[in-house]
Amino acid sequence: MNSIIEIERLKKSFGDNLVLKDISMNVNKGEVVTIIGASGSGKSTFLRCINLLETPTDGKIMYQGENVLAPGYNLPKYRTHLGMVFQSFNLFNNMNVLQNCMSGQVTVLGRKEEEAKKIAIENLEKVGMDRFIDAKPAQLSGGQKQRVAIARALSMDPEVMLFDEPTSALDPEMVGDVLRIMKKLAESGLTMVIVTHEMAFAKEVSDRVIFMDQGVIAEEGSPEDIFGNPKEARTKEFLHRVL
């Protein structure tokens, strides 16, 4: 297997609250991994540790075979390889759609304005938001904002995209649009790690499903295994509650 990210024995505590307890997981190139689990089980903290928005308390994160927590490792560069899409969009509200998709390319990657603009527009076309380049986030619906957030992340040419419940804050009629775009990205071979409550979507797009419970990976497997033939009592119990 061709691992992009290898996580070994990751732990994270906030004060004396041990939120992630010894998590090990690999992400392989081109793989779509979904993470499911109850609220409070540590899913967001796990994603935030992967891109080091949170500093792990213990354990190792290897990217392309290198330990990203080693002293002197180029963290700003590492972060550019990981695109993140949040539940709450996190667009820059003072910038229009085009500027949102260009600014990181120019300031972080050092691309020229013209090139950044071309790449931004290509990605906005992919998510069907190219007609809105002059709009400010406040003028957009939640679903439109999330599509722009996806285009912004893609414009940085990430190796891996991390999604933290990208449809949880959306009105129901907008969820489908965003999921369709994510499905297209998955089919294009993009490596994705997705925290989601959309079980039908997880079943459809995942190569592997991880069920988290109280800070551990309680069970992982193919979507057929996890949804069709779960082994652990707590997986069964969770699925029974949400399906």
Residues in touch with ligand ADP (CB under 6 A)? 14, 17, 19, 37, 39-45
Using the contact rule CB under 5 A, the part of the chain among 39-47, 148-156, 181-189, 229-237 near Mg ion is: 39-47
| DSSP letter (8 states) at residue 235 | H
Question: What sign does the dihedral 230-234-240-243 (CA atoms) show?
Answer: negative
Tokens of 77: 């560069």
# of chain residues touching Mg ion (CB under 5 A): 2
DSSP assignments along 125-139, one per residue: HHTT-GGGTT--GGG
SS3 of residue 108 by DSSP: coil
Q: Which residue is nearest to Mg ion (CB)?
A: 44
Question: Which of Mg ion, ligand ADP, none does residue 146 bind to, with CB < 5 to 8 Å depending on kind?
Answer: none
Check if the beta carbon of residue 194 is closer than 8 Å to that of residue 153.
Answer: no
Using the contact rule CB under 5 A, the part of the chain among 15-23, 37-45, 116-124, 210-218 near Mg ion is: 37-45
Residue in this structure with the two tokens 């649009």, named with its chain if needed: 177
> Closer CB to Mg ion, residue 43 or residue 145?
43
Question: Which of ligand ADP, Mg ion, none does residue 223 bind to, with CB < 5 to 8 Å depending on kind?
Answer: none
| DSSP letter (8 states) at residue 37 | E
Q: Write out the binding residues for Mg ion, residues 110-129 only, by CB under 5 A.
A: none
Using the contact rule CB under 5 A, the part of the chain among 38-46, 67-75, 220-228, 231-239 near Mg ion is: 38-46
User: What x-and-dash track marks residues 83-112 binding Mg ion by CB under 5 A?
Assistant: ------------------------------
> Closer CB to ligand ADP, residue 39 or residue 55?
39
145 CB-near residues (< 8 Å, 6+ apart): 89, 91, 137
Using the contact rule CB under 5 A, the part of the chain among 35-43, 49-57, 143-151, 234-242 near Mg ion is: 35-43
Beta bridge partners of 162: 84, 193
| DSSP letter (8 states) at residue 169 | T
Give, in order, the Cα–Cα distances in Å from 140 to each of 98, 124, 129, 169: 13, 14, 10, 14
* Letter string b/e over residues 199-234, b meaning 16 or more CB atoms within 10 A of that residue's CB: bebbbebbebbbbbbebbbbbbbebeebbeebeeeb
> Closer CB to Mg ion, residue 17 or residue 188?
17
> Closer CB to ligand ADP, residue 14 or residue 92?
14
Report if residue 44 touches Mg ion, rule: CB under 5 A.
yes
> Closer CB to ligand ADP, residue 50 or residue 151?
50
Question: Which of Mg ion, ligand ADP, none does residue 73 bind to, with CB < 5 to 8 Å depending on kind?
Answer: none
Shortest Å, Cβ 30 to ligand ADP: 25
Contacts to Mg ion by CB under 5 A: 43-44
